[in-house]
Structure 1
């Protein structure tokens, strides 16, 4: 008996020294309950990736092996990671107590959260996990997708924000910055592009293939990975020369689809001045060994800042024979934005998506800064003001999110990519920069970048560094009050002048609320506030840090009452303002004395005050009409937007519409004639925009005929006599009018011309023009076309968006969408379904709200993350209904009174 006990003890002891016992598989239901819906758990992180993939764009699938070194703080039975739509063939793990042992992959959440279960419990330390898999190329411009263009096949990876999981297993979060070693097997005749340059290349014995190994990357998050394979044309640009900040040269290369290389030369030429500017401003050298500019045949967004391999939708970066001046500026804007990302986002990365503003807002702000340096007379600072104003519409909603708002679900991440993040963030940065001065704020940014390079930084990190570097506590307080709470400040300003006393301005702040707004809660900001007061030739900027609900600004510079005040100096403040009617009237009279940014914000605040039920319509039109006469294009654009806002109320009333059309001609025709006589680039752009506005909203018969004839000639229809030439700036207007005037015959000719006109800007304008159809009888043909896939997935969404905003087709298009929603979401880009409630945002009836809610109650699971877009669309419809009820008759009566007498109805019985 004693011997038996001894034997048993020996067996148990040997077992204890041997391999760890194998683990039981967890139940899928248990994994589902424990799975992280947002960030992955702490304590587990990747330290290196090796990727060995075979990518042949001519095939339907790709695959290979991804090997990840994973570090564990504690012993673990497995770990959470990301992978979506991957066919996992095998997972093997190697660690202290495992050697190439099989592990198990379990798909758990539809958002791409998966579980790898180890065969036995792993010790703390590093485990190497090799995952062999295959997957289909995506058909909707998501993850690793393929496109066929002009008979050639291309494969490209769109990783941002959480789409890398669609083509590779890994830790698909921005906080995990890791070096990548990439090897691709591709067709021998194709070019392969990645984040780094090629280390080695060999032709394989297998016919027609080659293997390319790339150099190791600096630490990158998965969303910045670049994979592009296809018969790209290559154009070598001039290398970026060393300078006082960078002691090495950087190869610069452009890639396009076959036959388009020359059209990327302009972007290459403009790259070095942008890079050098950021290097000198930040004191930090360009961080990568090369810089590739890739024009993708198709791309779901305008561009993505893939590290050292920036990828653009080709219509945004190519500059060819048909390109107009507006196209040139748009190219410079998007290119400088992406170049800025090499520092803001790529070198220093936000750890999670609630801090997206730290890369997107700063890159948006930097765009105006660098372009103003490169072209001082270009008016780019006014473009930044226009962007700021564009954010205010969304920020006027109760449902608007904060610039920095917690994101807890994977499905909600893409909702952070909106005007609040980009444009409100830009506006807040510009406001702080203007108030405290570039010499205080900008050097601190460079030290922030240096402190966190190759790492991650969140908003508290940023605020701490900026506070330390500037020693300006009010700067951080102001930043946080605008970044961390939603809503738009409304500053009420009243000039008060009493005999024998110094003039003063009484200020109060509240949250802006349009008519019908459900906003109830109050807000208070720390506002770096500045206004302008003027008397005769004297103009003074007066500032205060407004942290309380009310404040009084004493105008010590004036002995007598100023002639007028402008409550947003330089237009640099992110707020709207209101004043008593008499002071609005004085501002209208002195409108010509305003700086351009002030004029732009004055028009926006006037429109907003009217929509809040406070400003009289004649005062609003006086402000808008003064803006229409302004020298600067961006100010005139504000007048155009003001009239466009009012147009919806008159579109269904013949007399009111005729009156508005006459007023548009009276106000804007003279400005058009003045712009036509100028060679300034800004006036050439304004000419295109005013012609479009007059032809479409103003229904100018002469211009409509001119555009229709030009469009017919461009798509190959017979036209007699001379026709105007078209540039990329005119394509959308001309084709839209051609579509409206020519109907189905024009549609067929336009589609046929696509095979002959190889111009990406034209192709984009074709989809837009189809969406501008105003014939309800043609809608079934158009929807069949958009759903056929003939034009592409982006175009399917674009066409529906257009038809939902045409007064003649919107109700029929809305009925179609309600009946065909499941099929529709399958044919649009993968990042678009969450936005589909916004398609209904142009509706204006109480019934539409219920129909919208019913649609997403039934089909919401097909559009993960739709809730925010639904709230915005529902609120927008409600605001439209309220404005129509309160001021619709007033608008129609006013413009009906402006109807020309020759078109007025006969008063006789």
Structure 2
């Protein structure tokens, strides 16, 4: 419908508006979408780039379909110094144009033609110079071992920093890219290099093959003294007839560390091709380890970019990095189909990119590395999204976009994790094979074009022979925020067992939201039967209803989220909770995770007190599955930090944690064992962090301090002996050392970080600095974060520390408000949406919420996207305070 409306509007305008049009005023600049009466058809992008310089130059040539008579058109360009614009009309006549930066803060500009031109095909040629960006946006400059590199990050709306164009996803065109660079450097781009020619003294020009149709945000290239290493070629299969060449791109001297990820990549590509029934279409595949990066990774077709620690791996790399490398690679390569081949039409459907890549990554991981248990990752990720989705200020999956700030803040847990959970829930409802049929049809119908939510939902509904009821149910999760809360009550009546159901919106204690809301929920209930348990499923799309539990035992028990597929929370009566707790060991590990979330939800809703929660969660700590073992920790840590008031109460919780987890920690030990499962390595890391830093168990702190001291010892070459600690525990060992040894440890880390290029070791040292627990040392670490010795993408690793106590948050607040301008200057607009959480996260009082609001409210006009971050952080702070006031701390001792 959207495209039809746009087409009709353009037809009317072309007929009625052939008279000369005066150039509009600045306040008439489009905010959001550009008008549809000037549409790009193809780009030629020529750049001259030397990473050692502060600026670059470019010539952008755009073929434009002008659909109505006009003497101007709108496009996007930001921080560009344009020296010349020419317009060539359909018969070859050339006009001198003028480039006007109309809304510089948004990057909206105008090309004035000088006279009115009738509807036709035009060619715009724009010569310009621009700074190499310092905030990881557009074409930006980074360094590795003091050597400069230049690379791109265009998503979501940063292409306008690199070249003038139509910077929104609905415009997909082919691109011809050429790069003029110093002769001793290398460059890569989305497509294969076709030629290299000399371009004057010490310069050369590289020309690349034309791309498939892409939106601006997927254009990518990189310039520098890169190591370029070949990976295994990806063999043809039934969906792709050509060999797919695979390469790794890394900073000079780092290429040898790419072999692990390159060895894993062919299996990911084949799995995706087999699922979609559609071969990888982009000709070649390079994976680039970026020396600094604003995101985790970026799905640019043909040139996928990553934070370096995800790709630069050694045999002793932390297990969480090795597993994370596979998961993130699978996510970005899934995007080659959902996002790159088929692209969202507008940013309100970002979930069509990110939720699908998250969901598909989990399917790929389950097939290639089933031991990674991506099925459990999906559940824990969904539960993390539910925490955010419980806020009145939460986004919808399909959130209307009203400005650039909405675009920049759309990359959140709702888009990625809730979206993936909803996809998995409806996949479970119609069946995996049917769902795959719908997905294949969706890709084929929209390949190399754009799609909307209706296109996807319709494709799945058609494949499943489902009608409007199914579409309404699916859309009920896309078009409204919130988590369904399913209340259940058991009744034995006339020899039958009936479960009564009602649904509302889940809201924590203290929420000002309206709980009256309905969804179409694919609901499954597991219940006790004579031979174990049975499952009953139905589409629950009314405010209330009943399900008869056939052959239920008497008495029985119910688990209202069988398989844990459902994106909803559930509530039981106290007797039903008791019965379910008695049978929790018989639940699958997926259902045990849903049980843990149900306990946490009941606690935060005010139905369970701290004593209830601690008792109900205790059985999970002895489970056999890592994800289940650690599931209680967040709830217990909240009670410890925010509710326990007396030494006796704090001691009770520490004893709970010690009894539940210390034996497992000691069984694992403090060093990785030869050949151990990576799940054990990750469990060691999780438990060591919680026990040493959250609950401060002396035994665990002593073991980590020993490793931290060893790591802080200087070797003969003057460097710290970071390899002396277990690689999985290095960050936590340094954190304990900073807290125990104080300034000497902080000074040592600050001296070492600039001399270290290894990304895993840098991350560990940053984690050590973030743990500083006196205001003086924390300030020293934060001041260091503002220097160029810390990369822009690393700053948050330090700044998010120091918030576990009111005194620590007070110190962080004082520092941040005193250094606000410096933080903004380094991070830029892409990070602005998270600033309120960065400084205010973890707050638990009305006073903290009020000061956050008072500080940021007058600054919102200058910091795009911070309004949502402010609303959510303030609400979280008030909810924490309300839950704290609701609870009776004495319940901890009962």
Q: Please say whether Structure 1 and Structure 2 have the same fold, judged by a TM-score greater than 0.5.
A: yes
Aligned with residue 701 of structure 2, among 698, 701, 704: 704
Aligned with residue 602 of structure 1, among 595, 601, 610: 595
Q: Matched residues in 2 for 1:592 and 1:136: separation?
A: 60
Given that 1:173 and 1:223 are in contact with CA atoms closer than 8 Å, whether structure 2 keeps it comes out as yes
Change in 2 beyond 3 A, CA 1:220/1:718: closer
Deviation at 1:850, TM superposition (A): 2.2
**Which deviates the most, 218-227 or 405-414?**
405-414
What residue number does 2:7 align with? none
Aligned with residue 683 of structure 1, among 669, 680, 690: 680
Aligned with residue 200 of structure 1, among 165, 176, 195: 195
What residue number does 2:164 align with? 169
What residue number does 1:123 align with? 118
1:611-760 superposed matches below 5 A:
611-650=604-643, 653-675=646-668, 679-717=676-714, 725-760=724-759
Q: Matched residues in 2 for 1:478 and 1:679: separation?
A: 45
Q: Does 1:482 align with 2:481?
A: no
Q: Matched residues in 1 for 2:823 and 2:647: separation?
A: 35
Deviation at 1:774, TM superposition (A): 0.7
Deviations 1:111-155 (CA, angstroms, capped at 9, x unpaired): 111111111111101111101000111111111111121131110
2:142 alignment partner, SS class:
strand
What residue number does 1:7 align with? none
Aligned with residue 320 of structure 1, among 288, 292, 314: 314
Q: Does 1:359 align with 2:353?
A: yes
Q: Matched residues in 1 for 2:226 and 2:360: separation?
A: 31
Q: Matched residues in 1 for 2:593 and 2:296: separation?
A: 26
2:278 alignment partner, SS class:
coil
What residue number does 1:856 align with? 856
Given that 1:661 and 1:697 are in contact with CA atoms closer than 8 Å, whether structure 2 keeps it comes out as no
Deviation at 1:858, TM superposition (A): 2.6
Aligned with residue 585 of structure 1, among 547, 561, 578: 578
Q: Which runs of 5+ in 2 are unaligned?
A: 1-17
Deviation at 1:622, TM superposition (A): 2.0
What residue number does 2:304 align with? 310
Given that 2:350 and 2:410 are in contact with CA atoms closer than 8 Å, whether structure 1 keeps it comes out as yes
1:848 alignment partner, SS class:
helix
1:230-241 superposed matches below 5 A:
230-241=224-235
Q: Does 1:76 align with 2:73?
A: no
2:169 alignment partner, SS class:
coil
Given that 1:833 and 1:862 are in contact with CA atoms closer than 8 Å, whether structure 2 keeps it comes out as no
What residue number does 1:904 align with? none
Aligned with residue 567 of structure 2, among 574, 578, 586: 574
Change in 2 beyond 3 A, CA 1:728/1:270: same
Change in 2 beyond 3 A, CA 1:22/1:475: closer
Q: What is the alpha-carbon root mean square deviation over aligned residues? A: 2.1
Given that 1:584 and 1:619 are in contact with CA atoms closer than 8 Å, whether structure 2 keeps it comes out as no
What residue number does 1:113 align with? 108
What residue number does 1:822 align with? 821
Given that 1:535 and 1:562 are in contact with CA atoms closer than 8 Å, whether structure 2 keeps it comes out as no
Deviations 1:49-86 (CA, angstroms, capped at 9, x unpaired): 01111011011100120010111111111111000111
Deviations 1:619-650 (CA, angstroms, capped at 9, x unpaired): 31122111111111111121112212222225
Change in 2 beyond 3 A, CA 1:573/1:459: same
Change in 2 beyond 3 A, CA 1:699/1:260: same
What residue number does 1:885 align with? 885
Change in 2 beyond 3 A, CA 1:586/1:465: same
Q: Does 1:276 align with 2:270?
A: yes
Q: Matched residues in 1 for 2:363 and 2:684: separation?
A: 26
Q: Matched residues in 2 for 1:668 and 1:795: separation?
A: 32
Given that 2:22 and 2:71 are in contact with CA atoms closer than 8 Å, whether structure 1 keeps it comes out as no
What residue number does 1:5 align with? none
Given that 1:706 and 1:723 are in contact with CA atoms closer than 8 Å, whether structure 2 keeps it comes out as no
Q: Matched residues in 1 for 2:495 and 2:363: separation?
A: 42
Q: Matched residues in 2 for 1:25 and 1:797: separation?
A: 47
1:778-789 superposed matches below 5 A:
778-789=777-788
Deviation at 1:287, TM superposition (A): 1.2
Deviation at 1:103, TM superposition (A): 0.9
Deviation at 1:97, TM superposition (A): 7.3
2:473 alignment partner, SS class:
helix
**Which deviates the most, 863-872 or 484-493?**
863-872
Q: Matched residues in 2 for 1:810 and 1:838: separation?
A: 12
Deviation at 1:866, TM superposition (A): 1.4
1:377 alignment partner, SS class:
helix
Aligned with residue 336 of structure 1, among 317, 330, 335: 330
Q: Does 1:141 align with 2:136?
A: yes
Q: Matched residues in 1 for 2:805 and 2:84: separation?
A: 53
Given that 2:404 and 2:864 are in contact with CA atoms closer than 8 Å, whether structure 1 keeps it comes out as no
1:80 alignment partner, SS class:
strand
**Which deviates the most, 212-221 or 812-821?**
812-821
What residue number does 2:4 align with? none
Q: Matched residues in 2 for 1:202 and 1:554: separation?
A: 76
1:535-550 superposed matches below 5 A:
535=529, 537-550=531-544
1:234 alignment partner, SS class:
strand
Deviation at 1:725, TM superposition (A): 5.0
Deviations 1:820-843 (CA, angstroms, capped at 9, x unpaired): 322321122541012211121321
1:141-160 superposed matches below 5 A:
141-160=136-155
Deviation at 1:25, TM superposition (A): 7.1
Given that 2:609 and 2:891 are in contact with CA atoms closer than 8 Å, whether structure 1 keeps it comes out as no
2:504 alignment partner, SS class:
strand
Deviations 1:638-684 (CA, angstroms, capped at 9, x unpaired): 11122122222256644322322222101112333455599333223
Given that 2:753 and 2:789 are in contact with CA atoms closer than 8 Å, whether structure 1 keeps it comes out as no
Deviations 1:331-363 (CA, angstroms, capped at 9, x unpaired): 111010001000010000001100000110010
Q: Matched residues in 2 for 1:789 and 1:657: separation?
A: 41
Given that 1:603 and 1:642 are in contact with CA atoms closer than 8 Å, whether structure 2 keeps it comes out as no
Aligned with residue 222 of structure 1, among 216, 219, 237: 216
Change in 2 beyond 3 A, CA 1:651/1:93: farther
Change in 2 beyond 3 A, CA 1:451/1:894: same
What residue number does 2:410 align with? 416
Deviation at 1:753, TM superposition (A): 2.5
What residue number does 2:865 align with? 865
TM-score (norm 2): 0.94
Change in 2 beyond 3 A, CA 1:650/1:456: same
TM-score (norm 1): 0.92
Q: Which runs of 5+ in 1 are unaligned?
A: 1-20, 899-909
Q: Which has the larger radius of gyration?
A: 1
Deviation at 1:582, TM superposition (A): 1.0
Deviation at 1:785, TM superposition (A): 1.6
**Which deviates the most, 616-625 or 606-615?**
616-625
1:729 alignment partner, SS class:
coil
1:802 alignment partner, SS class:
coil
Q: Matched residues in 2 for 1:123 and 1:137: separation?
A: 37
Deviations 1:851-888 (CA, angstroms, capped at 9, x unpaired): 1122123322331121111110111111011011111x
Q: Matched residues in 2 for 1:527 and 1:776: separation?
A: 49
